[in-house]
């Protein structure tokens, strides 16, 4: 399936891989990933709009209702208004034209006005995005090193005691749903031991942050705390993030670990490992320098493929811990109230949150594995 594009720039067995490949290969890799993101975005928003088109044009007019207009005043006036919206936004045209106009409007940053929140949809989403991004970021920082290292360590000594312990723990971790784990951690560490709190900040810090002296730079509380010279706020934010990040990552650590373990045990039997050992390279060095590099790809690829599930997990964990992230819109603005602009905005925004995670993982993979830089991306 994958185009046989470029010759391999590195030794395929990873024995002392050349870290500086030709520049065009890197460029081609970056371009192919960007094209991939573009296609993904089009396909996914196209599907979403196709779903939307199952509703009649008059119902879809709700997407374009301007601020502070209430539907259902005088039926005659309302009908005329809706008809005007339907005409203006081409809601009776064929799919490609409608979709094009809709997408163009999104691209210009006009995501509509939410009647339940009484604000602009894009603003409401963007305001809550940093919390979600922060939780995702710190979970990834737990998942990738822990999963890779534990899996590599266990896979290097298959059927040893350590490996058996790893397998049992990974099994358990993969079986407990994240939100149940979150609930249990909450009951133990928050209610029982009173070590770690839910929410994003302490009540006192909320007041301090609301004050004018605190400048928002990135929106990430852990980073902005440091930038403002307030390590106490960073520390507090980390304390609040600990439980959610742990409950979110445990399942994924187990999955990444299991895949890495399998890949590692395969690498362990390969000839280059034996050759390196025969040359007198220490076992430990063969493990971390030679074999691990080759065993990383399947785990990171599977993580990148399940980035959407990861985001779903983030939303669920946000709800468990009462974090004011993007998903708080989903929960707060009651589902019974029809709010189409917010619903559609939420869906599109979620995809926009998934793509950077996928891209980041691909970039990481390309950094580690030079073969991918050459071939244009992880395909399988």
Partner 1 sequence: MSSRRLFLSRLGNWLALALVTLFVVAALAGPRLLTPSVAQRDPFKKLPLPPGGEHPLGTVGGSDVWAGLVLGARDALRLGLTVTALTAVLGVALGAVSGYAGGLTNAVLMRLTDAFLAFPAVAAVWVIGYVLVASSQAGEPTSLTVLMIRLRLSPVMLALILFSWMPYARLINTTVTRLKREAYVEAARALGAGPERIILRHLLPNAIAPAVVQAARDIGSMVILATAFAFVGVSGESSQWGSLLLSGRDYVMGAAGNPLRYWWTYLPVSLALVLFGVARNLLGDGLNGALNPRQRY
Whole-angstrom Cα distance, residue 175 to residue 41? 32
How many residues does this entry show for the chain? Answer: 380
Q: Whose CA is closest to 103, among 144, 50, 148?
A: 50
What are φ and ψ of residue 282, in 5° steps? -60, 145
Q: Where are the strands (E) in the chain, listed by range?
A: 113-114, 119-120
Whole-angstrom Cα distance, residue 211 to residue 205? 10
Element containing residue 347 per DSSP (H, E): helix 340-368
From residue 271, alpha-carbon distances to 13, 15, 40, 91, 157 in Å are 9, 11, 39, 63, 17
Whole-angstrom Cα distance, residue 82 to residue 100? 20
Whole-angstrom Cα distance, residue 266 to residue 259? 11
Q: Which stretch binds partner 1 (CB under 8 A): 25-33, 71-79, 240-248, 315-323?
A: 315-323
Count the site residues for partner 1 by CB under 8 A.
68
Instruction: Please report how close the Cβ of residue 266 comes to partner 1 at its closest, in angstroms.
Output: 7
- For the chain, state the CA radius of gyration: 25
- Residues numbered 168-227 forming contacts with partner 1, rule: CB under 8 A: 171, 174-180, 183-184, 186-188, 190-192, 194, 198
Instruction: Please report how close the Cβ of residue 23 comes to partner 1 at its closest, in angstroms.
Output: 27
Whole-angstrom Cα distance, residue 25 to residue 23? 5
- Show the CA angle centred on residue 22, arms to residues 19 and 28, nearest 5°: 110
Q: Which stretch binds partner 1 (CB under 8 A): 214-222, 242-250, 283-291, 327-335?
A: 327-335
| Under rule CB under 8 A, residue 131 binds partner 1 | no
Q: Which stretch binds partner 1 (CB under 8 A): 72-80, 229-237, 271-279, 341-349?
A: 341-349
- The 3-state DSSP class for residue 72 equals coil
Quickly tell me which residue has 């993979």 as its tokens: 365
Q: Which of 54, 107, 203, 210 touches partner 1 (CB under 8 A)?
A: 54
Q: Which of 307, 361, 372, 374 touches partner 1 (CB under 8 A)?
A: 307
- Residues numbered 242-271 forming contacts with partner 1, rule: CB under 8 A: 258-259, 261-262, 265-266
Instruction: Please report how close the Cβ of residue 291 comes to partner 1 at its closest, in angstroms.
Output: 16
| Under rule CB under 8 A, residue 26 binds partner 1 | no
| Under rule CB under 8 A, residue 366 binds partner 1 | no
Would you say 104 and 89 are in contact if contact means Cβ atoms under 8 Å apart? no
- Residues numbered 56-115 forming contacts with partner 1, rule: CB under 8 A: 56, 58-60
Whole-angstrom Cα distance, residue 371 to residue 380? 13
User: Residue 249 or residue 265: which is nearer to partner 1 going by CB?
Assistant: 265
User: Residue 29 or residue 233: which is nearer to partner 1 going by CB?
Assistant: 29
User: Residue 224 or residue 339: which is nearer to partner 1 going by CB?
Assistant: 339
The token pair at 203 is: 């009540």
Q: Which of 30, 48, 86, 238 touches partner 1 (CB under 8 A)?
A: 48
User: Residue 10 or residue 243: which is nearer to partner 1 going by CB?
Assistant: 243
Contacting residues toward partner 1, per CB under 8 A? 1, 36, 39-40, 42-44, 47-48, 51-52, 54-56, 58-60, 171, 174-180, 183-184, 186-188, 190-192, 194, 198, 258-259, 261-262, 265-266, 305-309, 311-312, 315-316, 319-320, 327, 330-331, 335, 338, 340, 343-344, 346-347, 350-351, 354-355, 358, 380
């Amino acid at each position: 399936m994958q185009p046989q594009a470029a010759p391999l720039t590195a030794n395929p067995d990873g024995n002392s891989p050349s870290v500086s490949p030709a520049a065009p290969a890197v460029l081609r890799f970056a371009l192919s990933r960007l094209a991939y993101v573009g296609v993904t975005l089009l396909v996914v928003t196209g599907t979403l709009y196709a779903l939307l088109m199952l509703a009649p044009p008059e119902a879809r007019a709700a997407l374009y209702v301007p601020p502070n207009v209430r539907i259902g005043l005088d039926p005659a006036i309302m009908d005329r208004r809706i008809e005007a919206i339907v005409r203006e936004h081409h809601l009776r045209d064929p799919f490609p034209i409608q979709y094009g106009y809709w997408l163009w409007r999104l691209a210009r940053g006009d995501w509509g006005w939410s009647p339940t929140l009484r604000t602009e949809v894009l603003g409401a989403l963007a305001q809550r995005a940093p919390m979600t991004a922060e939780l995702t970021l710190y979970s990834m920082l737990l998942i990738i090193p822990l999963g890779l290292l534990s899996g590599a360590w266990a896979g290097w000594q298959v059927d040893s005691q350590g490996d058996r312990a790893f397998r049992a723990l990974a099994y358990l971790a993969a079986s407990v749903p994240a939100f149940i784990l979150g609930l249990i951690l909450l009951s133990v560490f928050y209610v029982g031991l009173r070590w770690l709190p839910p929410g994003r900040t302490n009540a006192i810090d909320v007041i301090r942050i609301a004050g004018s002296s605190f400048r928002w730079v990135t929106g990430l509380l852990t980073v902005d705390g440091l930038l403002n010279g307030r390590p106490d706020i960073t520390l507090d934010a980390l304390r609040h993030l600990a439980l959610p990040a742990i409950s979110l990552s445990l399942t994924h650590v187990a999955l990444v670990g299991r895949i890495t373990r399998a890949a590692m045990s395969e690498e362990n039997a390969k000839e280059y490992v034996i050759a390196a050992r025969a040359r007198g390279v220490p076992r430990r060095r063969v493990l971390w320098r030679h074999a691990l590099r080759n065993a990383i790809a399947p785990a990171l690829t599977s993580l990148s493929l399940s980035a959407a599930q990861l985001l779903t997990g983030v939303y669920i964990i946000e709800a468990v811990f009462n974090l004011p992230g993007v998903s708080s819109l989903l929960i707060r603005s009651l589902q019974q109230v029809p709010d189409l602009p917010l619903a559609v905005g939420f869906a599109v925004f979620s995809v926009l949150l998934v793509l950077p995670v996928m891209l980041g993982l691909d970039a990481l993979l390309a950094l580690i594995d030079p073969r991918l830089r050459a071939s244009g991306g992880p395909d399988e």
